[in-house]
Amino acid sequence: MMKVFWILGTVSLLIWACSPVREASKTSANLVHSSQDSTEYEILIIDNTFDQWYLMNYSQARDNTNDYYRSMNLIAVANWNNYYRNGRYTRVIDSEIDYHPETDYGIEVNRKLYWYFKFLTTNYGIRLFSNHVVL
C-alpha cells in the first residue's frame, strides 16, 4: 500500500512540475525625465507583450488629442493607484504610477500610457477607465 502511495505521489509531482506556468506577468509603468531638460519625459513600460500589442492596435486613424489622453489617464491612474494600495490585481499591478495632473508630459507619453491602460483592460479585464474608483 505504501508503494502505491509513493508511486502516485511521484507521478503527481512530475505532472505538476512539468505543467506550464500560467501566471500573468507583472507590469509597471514609470514616467521619467528623458534628458537634462526637465520638460522632456518618456514612459517605461515593463511588460514583454505590450509593444507587440501596441503596434497591432494603435493607428493614426484612431488617434486623439493630448487633452483627451491626459483626461483619460487621470482617471486610469487614480484607479490603478487605488488598486495597488488596496492589494487588488497584484499579479499585474506591482507599483504606483506617479502622474501629476499639472505636468505636461507631451502627447507621445500620454498616448502610450493611455494605450497601455487599454492593453490592460483588454488583456487582463482590469477596469481602469471607470469614473467610479473601485475599491
Q: What is the pLDDT of residues 40-50, one digit of tens each?
A: 898 888 888 99
Mean pLDDT for the stretch of residues 46-61: 93
Cβ neighbours of 53 (radius 10 Å): 16
- What pLDDT, on a 0 to 100 scale, did the predictor assign at position 33? 56
Block residue for cell numbers 473601485: 134
| pLDDT at residue number 9 | 42
Q: Give the model's confidence band at 135: pLDDT under 50 very low, under 70 low, under 90 confident, else very high.
A: low
Tell me the whole-structure pTM to 2 decimals. 0.72
pLDDT tens for 18-37 read 444 334 445 556 666 555 55
Confidence (pLDDT) at 112: 96
Say whether pLDDT at 79 is over 90.
yes
Distances in whole angstroms, Cα of residue 91 to Cα of each of 1, 9, 14, 22, 27:
41, 29, 25, 11, 8
Is the pLDDT score of 4 beyond 60?
Answer: no
Nearest to 43 by CA among 93, 94, 114, 91: 114
Q: What is the pLDDT of residue 12?
A: 42
| Whole-number average pLDDT of the chain | 80
Compute CA distances 132 → 6, 72, 76, 98, 100, whole Å. 54, 13, 10, 20, 19
Query: pLDDT (tens digit, 9 = 90+) per residue, 83-106?
Result: 999 999 999 999 999 999 999 999
Other beta carbons within 10 Å of 128: 23
Scanning 1-134, the segments in alpha helix (DSSP H) are 2-18, 50-57, 66-85, 107-124
Domain positions in the chain are 25-124
Distance of CA 81 to the CA centre of its chain: 12
